[in-house]
Amino acid sequence: MVRASVVIVGAGISGLSAAWELSGAIAGPNENTPRIEVIESASRVGGALATTSFAGRSVDLGADGFLARRPEAVNLVRELGLDDQLEAIDASGAWIYLHGALRELPTGLVLGVPTNVAAFRHFKGISRGARWRLRRDQWFAKRLVVGEDASIGEIVRAKLGDELSYQFIEPMIGGIQAGRIDELSARSVFPALLDAAHRGGSLAKALRPSGPVSPGPVSQHVASVPMFSSLCDGVGSLPVELERQLKERGVVVRTGVGVSALRRTPSGTYPWEVDTPTTTTPADAVIMAAPANVAGRLLGAQDPALAALADVDFASASMVTFCLSSTEVTLPLHGTGVLVPLRTSWPGGDTMMVTALTLLDRKWPHLRREGDVLLRAHVGRIDDQRSDSLNDEELTERVSNELRVLLGEFGPARASLVQRWPSALPQYHVGHQPLVEQARRAASELRVALAGMAYDGVGIPASIGSGRRAAKEVFAMLV
């Protein structure tokens, strides 16, 4: 009996999760396990999940934690035997910079949408007109007719007005997606909001008892699960351990080599041949876990629905991490960070580049050290690439100057680190879900499964779930 062969293009967390599922998941390989080869163009696995040594700590260069109330990441960590590495977030709450001052965010926000009108009664960061719109939405909600999809901005601006939309909702959602609410799809990013708009009436009332506000499963015992978790050695340690265990199972993981072509061979033993500059690997099925634009380039000639993947927009982002003496910085009394609305002014007719500030050592106990503070500034959105024109030193200086305004006292830093992620975050624009559904149908007919951030969500749990879903689709193809 000829052993089946599966090639996975891309060794980010989605591609590695697909390989884990294909190789038997927690049970391990058996006689039906196919030959699995993972091909990655970068010099290491993990994509945006990576760690580095900084200020005497192992610090993540990408996401520093993951949503634990979705089960996929926690389940994978436990299957890998890393239970003792799980660490619950150790702080809550956040602040926002409005009208020249830091203000604590009110309670009852669902992705920035207020559901507790009373909490805004004495909040000084918004105008009387914005408070009136909140009350109107609760008792005399404005009618709105939307179709199968609409932008998040279209819904919240019609219901709550521009001020709340751009001062509260966009900083939170935009911080997750690195996009703009007037372009992001409610159906793909915030389906509970689209459901609320379809039902009519008050957004606050509709979202208040809501379950999950974004796509994806929820842990069975959600009340006892922390909202967010990390790993004591950093989230970037997850793909490294996953790669190690996959190799122990006989999975071939090749890094530093790109896939140059996918060729169909309908008359051969295998329906696909996967080319790199030096090798050709036959495959019964392919999991495309590379970014959507790469998938569109490699598969576009096979079907227009797959070619359309090349049109998915990606946002770039940068992060500047600082270590400072605790006596050289003024921080909010509590909370995990600060949001900065995009239109926040900066001298000279400019606007601030910093969109958010994360207090890393408040969130995660393993990052705490006596006498210093570890924090991270986030820069960049889909329509703001100003950081690209600055070198690391210039970007660090600009961000430091902005933090002195935001916090009142900042620096000098003991150490700083710039990390840039070009074209890292896919944008779920209006109409994104039909694009994905059509691409998946076309791919399935070709014995290809799609996985990654462009399809099932941008978070770590969603990416893991996307990879494992693709593996299950391939199993069905091989039967």
Residues 160 and 118 in one domain: yes
Residues 326 and 422 in one domain: yes
pLDDT per residue over 167-191, tens digit each? Answer: 989 999 988 899 999 999 999 999 9
Q: Is residue 91 part of a domain?
A: no
Residues 242 and 384 in one domain: no
Q: Cα-flanking dihedrals φ and ψ of residue 375, to 5°?
A: -140, 160
Residues 271 and 320 in one domain: no
The CATH number of residue 155's host domain is 1.10.3110.10
Residues 358 and 460 in one domain: no
Q: Is residue 404 part of a domain?
A: yes
Q: Is residue 220 part of a domain?
A: no
Report d(CA 365, CA 43) in Å as an integer: 31
The segments of the chain whose pLDDT lies below 70 read: 1, 209-224
Please report which residue ranges of 68-121 form alpha helices under DSSP H: 71-79
How big, in percent rounded to 5, are the helix, strand and coil portions of the chain? Answer: 40, 25, 40
The CATH number of residue 377's host domain is 3.90.660.20
Residues 168 and 39 in one domain: no
Residues 324 and 415 in one domain: yes
Q: Is residue 27 part of a domain?
A: yes
Q: Is residue 89 part of a domain?
A: no
How confident is the model at residue 124, as a pLDDT?
87
How confident is the model at residue 479, as a pLDDT?
83
Residues 308 and 436 in one domain: yes
Residues 302 and 434 in one domain: yes
Residues 199 and 252 in one domain: no
Q: Which string of DSSP letters, residue by residue, matches 398-467?
A: HHHHHHHHHHS-B---SEEEEEEEEEEEE--BTTHHHHHHHHHHHHHHTTEEE-SHHHH-SSHHHHHHHH
Q: Is residue 186 part of a domain?
A: yes
Residues 422 and 318 in one domain: yes
Q: Which domain holds residue 385?
A: 314-426
Report d(CA 479, CA 474) in Å as an integer: 9
Q: Is residue 66 part of a domain?
A: no
Residues 36 and 174 in one domain: no
Q: Cα-flanking dihedrals φ and ψ of residue 415, to 5°?
A: -155, 155
CB 466 within 8 A of CB 456: yes
How confident is the model at residue 348, as a pLDDT?
82
Q: Is residue 231 part of a domain?
A: no
| Count of structural domains within the chain | 3
The CATH number of residue 300's host domain is 3.50.50.60
Residues facing residue 110 across a β-bridge: 113
pLDDT per residue over 421-468, tens digit each? Answer: 999 999 999 999 999 999 999 999 999 999 999 999 999 999 999 999
